[in-house]
Amino acid sequence: MLNIRPILAFDDNYIWLLQHDSNPRVAVVDPGDETPVVDLLKQEGLELAAILITHKHGDHTGGVRGLLDLWPNAVVFGPANEPIASITQRVSGGERIELPWLGVEFEVMDVPGHTEGHVAYYGAGVLFCGDTMFAAGCGRVFSGTHEQLHHSLQSIAALPVDTKVYCAHEYTLANLGFAKWVEPDSEPLQARFQRDADLRGRGEPTVPSVLKDELDTNPFLRVGEPNVIEAAERYAGRKLVAGAEVFTAIRNWKDREYD
Ligand SMILES: [Zn+2]
């Protein structure tokens, strides 16, 4: 069975560790810092066999070189369209990557928007989406476009509703706070806030989330819902076309007014 554990890095990053049963050959996703990864792998006698990178930002790639110094044979998957040293297998979406020692195969998804070449890895009912989507939120638009990010989120929204979503940061409570600005009367949102606040109160991660909960509460996926369109139009002060225009207004609203 595939086991997925978080390794905490910096203030709020999750580096995901993938292991099949007790097989010592493991993989990590987005190692921004090698130190906590090395500590855990050494402690448990594990061998790093693969690194999966979603995008070029330093808090997702900063540990790659240090890990390769210790495990030079690790295969490094990462986006073809971004300047990242050390990638050995460049992917841009549509490929299937096989990790037999983990007992899984991932489909690479092209999910630009946060950055221009961002990819995600989907398989075995789980999604590693980096900074494209967060629990109850989404990444900022840095080197991609709002239209791209909207379309990328819609492609994630089309995955099976029981998909477990492993994003790369613990931003959930802040994101839910903004989601309540957009949909103040949403019961699923209130319930999720309570549940996730309880988890954080116990020091537990709110990630992974389940796609069904994102579809019910994440305003960036809900840009076709009448009350979300209405809230976005109120912020923008004009009529908006459902979809990318509503998405852009909500992203701007959060960027400019919330955080
Ligand atoms: Zn990023």
Cβ < 5 A residues, ion ligand 1: 57, 131
Rounded CA separation 259/123 (Å):
33
Q: How far is the CA of 169 from the centre of ligand 1 (A)?
A: 10
Q: How far is the CA of 121 from the centre of ligand 1 (A)?
A: 15
Q: How far is the CA of 179 from the centre of ligand 1 (A)?
A: 21
Q: How far is the CA of 74 from the centre of ligand 1 (A)?
A: 23
Q: How far is the CA of 4 from the centre of ligand 1 (A)?
A: 21
Q: How far is the CA of 114 from the centre of ligand 1 (A)?
A: 7
Q: How far is the CA of 53 from the centre of ligand 1 (A)?
A: 11
Q: How far is the CA of 237 from the centre of ligand 1 (A)?
A: 30
Q: How far is the CA of 58 from the centre of ligand 1 (A)?
A: 8
Q: How far is the CA of 100 from the centre of ligand 1 (A)?
A: 28
Residue 124: the pLDDT is 96
Q: How far is the CA of 112 from the centre of ligand 1 (A)?
A: 11
Residue 145: the pLDDT is 98
Residue 242: the pLDDT is 85
Q: DSSP assignment of the chain, as one string?
A: -EEEEEEEETTTEEEEEEEETT-SEEEEE--S-HHHHHHHHHHHT-EEEEEE-----HHHHTTHHHHHHH-TT-EEEEETTS--TT-SEEE-SS-EEEEGGGTEEEEEEE--SSSTT-EEEEETTEEEEETSEETTEE---SSS-HHHHHHHHHHHHTS-TT-EEEESB--HHHHHHHHHHH-TT-HHHHHHHHHHHHHHHTT----SEEHHHHHHH-TTT-TTSHHHHHHHHHHHTS---TTHHHHHHHHHHIIIII-
Q: What residues of the chain score a pLDDT lower than 50? A: none
Q: How far is the CA of 22 from the centre of ligand 1 (A)?
A: 31
Structure tokens at 184: 């103040």
Q: How far is the CA of 95 from the centre of ligand 1 (A)?
A: 22
